[in-house]
Amino acid sequence: MTSVSPTGTTASSAKVATQDDTLLQDGKKANLSTLVMNLMLQRVHSVDGVLSGMINQMDANNVSTRNLNNFLEQLREMRPKSADGTISKDRMTMAEDKTYKDSGKKVSPSKTWGLDLDKDSYTQGQIDQLIEIVKSKISTVNSNQQMEQIKMQKYNNVRNESMQMVSTVMKSQMQSLQSIVNNMRD
C-alpha cells in the first residue's frame, strides 16, 4: 500500500493511499475527482484562514492610521504660531489623551511610534519635526496597507480558482450520474 499526503494545505488532510490500483481516502474507496474536490476544499479552507489573518491586520492598520491622523491633527492645532513660542509637556499629554479617546485604549505615541515626547516644552520647530515624523509613519502604514491589499487579492484569486475547480468537478460528477440514470431509464 502506498500513502500520499496532499501538499500545500495547512488544514488537516485526509490520508490518501493506493491498493491494487484503487485509490483510498481514509481507508474508503474514492475516485480521482472526489480526491481533487476534497483537496481543493482543503485549499479553500487554508486560504480562508490566511485571508482572515490579513483582514485582521488591515483592521489594525486602519486603527493605527486613524490614531496617527488624530495625533497629527492635535500637533497641528497646538503648534506655536511664532518661532519663539513653546507649548508645555502638559499640553502634549492632553493632546495624546484626546487623540486616543475614541480608540478605547490609552496608547502612548512615544512607545507605539517611538516619538520623543519627554521634553518639558516644545518649540515650533520641534512640533514641525514631530509633524513630519507622523506624516512619514502614516505614509509607511498606507504603503503597507496597499501591499496587503495586493497580497489579499492574490489569495482571493487562488480561493476563487479553487472554488471554480470544485464547481467544475461537481458539475462533471452530476453529469455522469445523470447519464447513468438516463441509461437506466432507456
Polymer length in residues for the chain: 186
pLDDT tens track for 42-77: 889 999 999 999 999 999 888 888 888 888 988 898
Q: What's the pTM?
A: 0.66
How does residue 13 score in pLDDT terms, banded at 50, 70 and 90? low
Surface-to-core class of residue 106, CB atoms within 10 Å of its CB (0-12 exposed, 13-18 middle, 19+ buried): exposed
Q: What is the pLDDT of residue 114?
A: 65
pLDDT in tens, 136-165: 989 999 999 999 999 999 999 999 998 898
User: 111-137: per-residue pLDDT in tens?
Assistant: 666 676 777 788 888 889 889 988 998
